[in-house]
């Protein structure tokens, strides 16, 4: 089997490539990435693997993208942009039109399976636990761009096997990890700044998926006929104060500041579906994920 991964040099891509390399059914892993985030780590890690082919290219570059699709069995689309949201036009170009561009080119090739990494932000904010039955109500520019991308993905459903994986924030150790937002940023701030900035009262619950759990799910879907069209990634729930207390056990001098402390923010809890729970054989606990990340930060 030959697998194409757009955005394959990034955070989720790094973990996915490691899973695919060890699978005997995978003959070739073709990484398509413009390296805009400076993630060269993967190339250094796997350059000796005969399974890897790297193509430096942009998701809007029709010529390179079309070449990358030749003889591919499964395409995994990870190349999206989340930060910063102030660049609305660029986000729309990459997330929406980049996905549309890939799908249009896929129709010229005999790709059998397409996996798209989307976001649970397409559901908007909700006081109730979010599951597959929730109504789609995107609120942010990022969420709107991802939902529009999903609509394009669904046009493939009668032409090849399709799976959309909606995820909350990703966290956990990986050589290409991102410290710019979410749980990873809080862990980084605790270690290097001895300070956590908490929103409102720090008690609203949020969800995060460990990068290795996500890679397990995408790897499985890449190699197997999907049982359903949409999946919610397995996630752990956390709140700012809970993370503060947990990290304080590692760093006794850790302090916390509160922004908009007079507010009570809505919980944002994602419950993964039953099929996803069965696929993820070894789910990483929040405690284990944090400890592993901290143990791999050298300074």
The residues that bridge with 210 in the sheet, in sequence order, are 171
Write out the two tokens for 90: 């660029």
Q: How far apart are CA 83 and CA 106, in angstroms?
A: 27
Q: How far apart are CA 61 and CA 66, in angstroms?
A: 8
Q: How far apart are CA 160 and CA 149, in angstroms?
A: 17
Q: Are 73 and 3 in contact (CB under 8 A)?
A: yes
Task: Encode 257-266: b = buried (16+ Cβ within 10 Å), e = exposed.
Answer: ebeeeeeebe
The residues that bridge with 219 in the sheet, in sequence order, are none
Dihedral, 123, 127, 132, 134 alpha carbons, nearest 10: -70
DSSP structure string for 25-41: T--EEEEEE--TT---H
Residue 71, sorted as left (phi over 0), alpha (psi -120 to 50) or beta, turns out to be left
Dihedral, 294, 52, 6, 44 alpha carbons, nearest 10: 40
Cα dist from 73 to 194, 237, 249, 265, whole Å:
47, 35, 48, 44
Residues identified as active-site:
142
């Amino acid at each position: 089997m030959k697998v194409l991964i757009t955005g394959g040099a990034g955070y989720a891509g790094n973990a996915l490539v490691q899973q695919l390399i060890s699978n005997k059914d995978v003959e070739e892993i073709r990484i398509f990435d413009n390296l805009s985030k400076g993630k060269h780590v993967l190339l250094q890690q796997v350059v000796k693997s005969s399974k890897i082919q790297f193509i430096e290219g942009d998701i809007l570059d029709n010529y390179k993208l079309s070449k990358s699709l030749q003889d591919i069995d499964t395409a995994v689309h990870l190349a999206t942009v989340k930060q910063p949201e102030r660049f609305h036009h660029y986000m729309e170009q990459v997330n929406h039109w980049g996905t549309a561009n890939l799908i249009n080119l896929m129709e010229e090739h005999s790709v059998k399976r397409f996996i798209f990494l989307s976001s649970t932000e397409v559901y908007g904010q909700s006081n109730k636990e979010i599951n597959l039955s929730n109504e789609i109500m995107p609120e942010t520019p990022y969420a709107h761009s991802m939902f529009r991308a999903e609509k394009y993905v669904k046009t493939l459903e009668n032409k090849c096997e399709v799976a959309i994986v909606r995820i909350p924030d990703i966290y956990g150790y990986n050589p290409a990890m991102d410290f710019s937002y979410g749980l990873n940023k809080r862990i980084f701030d605790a270690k290097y700044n001895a300070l956590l900035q908490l929103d409102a009262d720090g008690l609203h619950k949020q969800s995060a998926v460990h990068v290795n759990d996500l890679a397990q799910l995408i790897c499985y879907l890449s190699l197997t006929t999907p049982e359903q069209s949409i999946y919610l990634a397995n996630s752990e729930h956390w709140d700012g104060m809970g993370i503060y207390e947990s990290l304080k056990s590692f760093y006794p001098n850790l302090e916390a500041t509160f922004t908009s402390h007079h507010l009570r923010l809505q919980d944002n809890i994602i419950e993964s579906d039953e099929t996803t729970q069965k696929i993820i054989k070894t789910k990483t606990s929040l405690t284990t994920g944090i400890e592993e990340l901290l143990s791999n930060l050298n300074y």
